[in-house]
Amino acid sequence: MLKNPPEPPELLVVKVGGSCLDDLEPEWWDGLVEAAGPGKLVVVHGWSRMVSAATPAGQPDFIFDKHGFRRRYTTPEVLDAIVRISGELRGRIVDVVRARGLKAEGVDGAESRLLHAEVRQNMWWVGDELVPLTNLVGPVREVDRSRLDLLLAENDAVVVTPLAVTTDHPRANTDADRAAAAIAAAGGARALALVMDAEAFQADGQDVRRAERGDLARLKRHAQGGMAKKLRAVEEAFVGGVEVVTIGRAPVPDLLAGRAGTWIGRDRAVEGGAHAAAAERRAGDG
């Protein structure tokens, strides 16, 4: 047995929102692979824009829980649309990553049993009424670490559709930002990038460029809609040991280095970001 076994490859987790997937240029994907470097990469994708277009007529896209958090109204019909659309998106992303020289595999988080979620009957605001509903959406409660380790051992990159298996349902919808945070925590990632269609998180109409974990309570007062869930994902990532979370639309190397978007450090804002610093150390070792 080796006294000093080699460190496992560094893991980078990137969530790419469905609202911006179609708009990302080839150079953006080049930057994604560059950011992963010699480490491992997990890409978690969303599908919001595409699924909204397939929502049955007369059904709202989103409803709100009793705490005010927005969730996609996921009926069995909507879940069928998500499965179909996400399969196409996952395949596209795998092809793009493979074209850049990485060995990549795409998985449905439910079908692979990588992600386990909880779905309960809750009170939901539907219009002006608070009614009991079993909405097929819930938070990720567990990431199967052994399955994640196996996927990463066999591939340079893994593309994950954030559907999850539950105790009572073979598939459920999950929030992609929070699923990415759960995967980053389970995999020991140092950095998580949440890529969206806005340039950065805004407070009082101004982009927030750098922040720390201690600023999250203040930032939450400015968060609306999906942004509130993003900040929830940021906190969950920090609880799981992730050091840096970035939010924005720029190339991932720029987000991780704090040159664009919103850069949030778990403990204190280290110039350049944890992932960028690690990349610099690797370059120096070479």
Beta-carbon count within 10 A of 155 CB: 20
Find the range with the poorest average confidence among 48-57, 237-246, 247-256, 275-284: 275-284
Q: Which of 106, 134, 107, 130 is nearest to 120 (CA)?
A: 134
Please write the tens of the pLDDT for every residue from 119-130: 887 788 777 888
- What is the model's pLDDT at position 73? 86
DSSP per-residue codes, 107-118: EETTTTT-EEE-
Please give the pLDDT value at position 235.
95
Give tens-digit pLDDT for 236-252.
999 999 999 999 999 99
Question: pLDDT tens for residues 79-96?
Answer: 999 999 999 999 999 999
Output 59-63 pairs: Cβ under 8 A, ≥24 positions apart.
60/126, 60/127, 63/124, 63/125, 63/126, 63/133, 63/135
The domain segmentation of the chain, as residue ranges, is 11-285
Tell me whether strands 163-164 and 172-173 are parallel, antiparallel or unpaired.
antiparallel
Mean pLDDT of 135-162: 96
Contact by Cβ (8 Å): 13, 44: yes
Of 86, 97, 92, nearest to 36 (Cα)? 97
Give me the pLDDT at residue 2, please.
45
DSSP codes joined into one string, 61-103: SEEEETTS-EEE---HHHHHHHHHHHHHHHHHHHHHHHTTT--
Rounded to an integer, the average pLDDT of 148-154 is 97
Q: How far apart are CA 199 and CA 64, in angstroms?
A: 26
Return the amino acid letter for 69: F
The model's pTM is 0.87
Paired tokens of 145: 């670490």
* CATH class of residue range 11-285: alpha beta
Stretch (H or E) spanning 186: helix 176-187
